[in-house]
Amino acid sequence: MISDDEKVEFLRELVSIYSPTGHEDSVARFIVDSFESFGVEAYIDAVGNVVAEKRGNGKRILLAGHMDTVSGLIPVRIENGELWGRGSVDAKGPLATFFFAFIESNANLIFAGLVEEEGFSKGAHNLQVEKPDYIIIGEPSGVDGVTIAYKGSLTMKFVERVEKFHGSHAAKGPAEKLIDKWLLLSRDFEGGFNNASGRIVRFNAYERDFDFYAEMVVNIRIPRGYTPPIKGEILDFVPAYEVSSRSPLVRAFVKAIRKNGMNPRLKKKSGTADMNILGPKFKADAIAYGPGDSRLDHTSYEHINLEEYLNAIETLKTAINELKML
């Protein structure tokens, strides 16, 4: 029996390993070593993902979380029952939840710790495992929440060039032309799951020889059926994803949350996750689950309630048991 203190210490160590996108090697090694300390074989695949498998009863379930975080160090500390640190919510809290649910469940499971989710999802695109029947993605939904849908993501690049002119002339330079394009792109942006939203990721204006140049990279979170009013060079595209609320996977989590004394909440999120990739890739129903408040993602206030983290492990184990009985 693994104690709560051990589970908290594992999460503290996991969060203490700084692993911004593209620098997941140390955290991958830590997870492999931790699996081996519990007698579980694990390996690092060709792109850097950590994979562990166990044979058990019932349907094949993939537990897939990501090991990378956005950049920005937050001193790791525990205060008032909360663990502070980069990745505590997004998404090492959910990843640690998956780790212990995998160890403590007698089920047919695949664990995948994925690389570069905060980039272009290199880990998810290149994951090579046996086809699962169900997929659970490690993202903060709250211990009583199940995420059944995410918007898609469209990243585009725009470039403008004009011949140099004197600053006294009433002419638009390339930067101003790109600003016009952004205003056109963003004119219908609204909040909520059913509308597009986005931001400028990178903007650069410069001059070379006899020309002015400007480049702009934008990311748009897109609902189903969205077509941008103008198109640039597509750098990355991930379609929106939604699983039916009547899916056996969703029903299993609803039952598990209720069995653990909570009222379940089904969520549709305006972000994008590896769920959008792995669900269609394996043609299997997928949801996202994990402890933590997603409003803290990427912020300097990122922290997770440790009681919620421990409850999420038990809830996930209950959900896995429900899926075994299908």
**Contacts with 188 (C-beta within 8 Å, 6 or more apart), sequence order:** 195, 196, 229
Question: Can 118 be counted among the known catalytic residues?
Answer: no
Please give the C-alpha separations between residue 182 and each of 35, 116, 158, 229, 231, in angstroms, as whole numbers: 47, 27, 10, 10, 11
Burial label, 270 (beta-carbon count in 10 A; 0-12, 13-18, 19+):
middle
What span, in angstroms and rounded, lies between the C-alpha atoms of 101 and 307?
Answer: 16
CB burial readout 216-252, b (16+ within 10 A) else e = bbbbbbbbeebebeeebeeeeebbbbbbeeeeebbbb
Q: State residue 168's pLDDT score.
A: 66
Structure confidence by residue, pLDDT tens digits, 83-102: 999 999 999 999 999 999 99
pTM, 2 dp = 0.93
Three-state secondary structure call for residue 286? strand
Question: Can 68 be counted among the known catalytic residues?
Answer: yes
Residue 277, phi then psi, degrees to nearest 5:
-95, -50
Domains of the chain and CATH, by start: 4-151+241-324 (3.40.630.10), 152-238 (3.30.70.360)
Q: State residue 169's pLDDT score.
A: 72
What span, in angstroms and rounded, lies between the C-alpha atoms of 91 and 294?
Answer: 9
Please give the C-alpha separations between residue 59 and each of 18, 76, 278, in angstroms, as whole numbers: 35, 38, 17
Catalytic residue among 24, 53, 68, 118: 68
What span, in angstroms and rounded, lies between the C-alpha atoms of 292 and 286?
Answer: 19
Q: State residue 165's pLDDT score.
A: 86
Predicted confidence band at 324 (pLDDT cuts at 50, 70, 90)?
confident
Catalytic residue among 24, 116, 117, 118: 117
What is the arrangement of strands in the sheet containing 303-305, beginning at the earlier edge strand? 77-79, 82-84, 303-305
* CA 326 distance to own-chain centroid: 27
Structure confidence by residue, pLDDT tens digits, 193-251: 999 999 999 999 999 889 999 999 999 999 999 999 999 999 999 999 999 999 999 99
Neighbours of 264 (CB within 10 A): 17
In percent, the amount of the chain with pLDDT more than 70 equals 99
What span, in angstroms and rounded, lies between the C-alpha atoms of 44 and 41?
Answer: 11
Q: Which of 83, 76, 141 is nearest to 292 (CA)?
A: 141
Mean pLDDT computed over every residue of the chain: 96
Q: Using N-to-C axis directions, what is the helix angle for 25-37 and 4-16, rounded to 10°?
A: 160
Among 85-94, 146-155, 157-166, 258-267, the least confident range = 157-166
Q: State residue 152's pLDDT score.
A: 97
